[in-house]
Amino acid sequence: MTLATVPASLNLIAKETPLIDVRAPVEFIQGGLPGAVNLPLMVDDERHHVGIAYKQQGQQAAIGLGERLVSGKTKQARVAAWQAYVVSHPEAIIYCFRGGLRSQIAQQWLAESGISRPRIDGGWKALRQRLCQRIDEASNQPMLVVAGLTGCAKTMLINQLSNGIDLEAFANHKGSAFGRQPEEPTTQINFEHALAKRLIGLSGKLVIEDESRQIGNANIPLPFWQAMQRAPRIRIEMPLDWRLEQLRRDYIEALERNYIARYGQQEGWRRMQRQLANALERLAKRLGNARLQRLQRLQAMAFGAHARGNIQAHEAWLAPLLTEYYDPLYRYHLEKNRDSRPMQLHVGDWESCLEAAKQWST
């Protein structure tokens, strides 16, 4: 029986083709392809024992052990899961790590049940190489970087643009000590895959927020990061009260909604408080003991007022955090890099920066 293959093409990702990842869950957690669902041929423990057999006794022994481990009702359950997914996603394509034995076995078993679906030639590895290549190619495209003090709604501006690249969304992290979300931050591999997917079809100018190289658990790929550092900039300047309102919406109100949606009212509220308190604690060395203790007291009072319905009380600790820590740190880096600073195309309020970004893009 001939088992069909399809090339490891970025079109699969661009078209959001349904993908069946038959690798073990531990592999999928580290990074799957965009649009993939994990329906493994072998679960982690089975894969572990087969791997030992392969190292100690060779391929045939490993295959034999795999056939014994995934047989009978276990095999029936795995095939049934693939069948159910293909019924609801008739265009689904199968892949494993290299497009080898595991995806071929899944194809074979599906074919025996009357369903024929192709696998990706070269598997996960080949398509990942194409995704990473797309990021490297984008490093040569014109870029504009949106800079500004904390709370200037740089991400909101990026998302107003058809060529905006929201790196924080791909990392599932808002890029500061207070940026963690209820869900786990994105892995490095999944961050790169999400960035590459966004870049597919964007062959012209790109607008990107000014970021540290590390966002949450992910690092911006080096060639792309280096291109960002060379790119011209626009800088948003907004008054403190405007920035405090943005921070309250993004880091307090939205965070509370997300935690409650995930964990329920009581547990979500408790976890949100713990996260914000821990984030402040992580700045201990930079803030100094006296300033940290003062901000902790203000934060604790804000939590109490928040519980009584006064969300604006958080501005009592957010304001000094901005004026005494984040703003001086930002200005220090500006001054430090003054001689090597890229071209600055525009400085102004949020609306004028949005217009400047649109004009530059077109």
DSSP letter at 180 equals: B
The share of the chain scoring above pLDDT 70, in percent, equals 99
**Residue 359: its pLDDT value, please?**
97
**The pLDDT value given to residue 140:** 97
* SS3 of residue 161 by DSSP: coil
How confident is the model over 320-325, as a mean pLDDT?
94
Contacts of residue 121, Cβ cutoff 8 Å, sequence gap at least 6:
5, 6, 7, 8, 99
Q: pLDDT tens digits for 241-298?
A: 999 999 999 889 999 999 999 999 999 999 999 999 999 999 999 999 999 999 999 9
3-class secondary structure, 329: helix
Does residue 234 register a pLDDT over 90? yes
What value does the mean pLDDT take over residues 200-209?
95
Axis crossing angle, helix 123-138 with helix 188-199, rounded to the nearest 10: 60
Mean pLDDT computed over every residue of the chain: 92
Instruction: Give residue 230's identity as a one-letter amino acid code.
Output: R
Give the contacts of 329 (CB within 8 A, at least 6 positions apart). none
Question: Residue 339: what pLDDT?
Answer: 64
* Active-site entry in 96, 132, 152, 353: 96
Residue 85 one-letter amino acid: Y
Q: Would you state the pLDDT for residue 1?
A: 64
Backbone phi, then psi, for 326, in 5-degree steps? -65, -45
Map out the domains of the chain as residue ranges: 5-131, 139-362
Task: At 59, list the tokens.
Answer: 């391929």
Instruction: For residue range 121-151, list pLDDT tens digits in order.
Output: 999 999 999 999 999 999 999 999 999 999 9
Residue 316 scores a pLDDT above 80: yes
pLDDT exceeds 70 at position 356:
yes
Alpha-carbon 139 to chain mean position: 19
- Give the number of other CB atoms < 10 A from CB of residue 44: 12
User: What type of residue is 131?
Assistant: L
Task: Assign domain 5-131 to its CATH superfamily.
Answer: Rhodanese-like domain (3.40.250.10)
Tokens of 126: 């080949």
Catalytic residue flag (residue 152): no
Q: What local confidence, expressed as pLDDT, does residue 80 receive? A: 96
Q: Dump pLDDT digits (tens) for 108-120.
A: 999 999 999 999 9
**340 vs 34, residue with greater confidence:** 34
Overall pTM > 0.95: no
* Secondary structure of 28-86 as H, E, C letters: HHHCCCCCEEECCCCCHHHHHHHHHHHHHHCHHHHHHHHHHHCCHHHHHHHHHHHHHHH
Q: Where are the beta strands (DSSP E) in 114-196?
A: 119-120, 143-148, 164-165
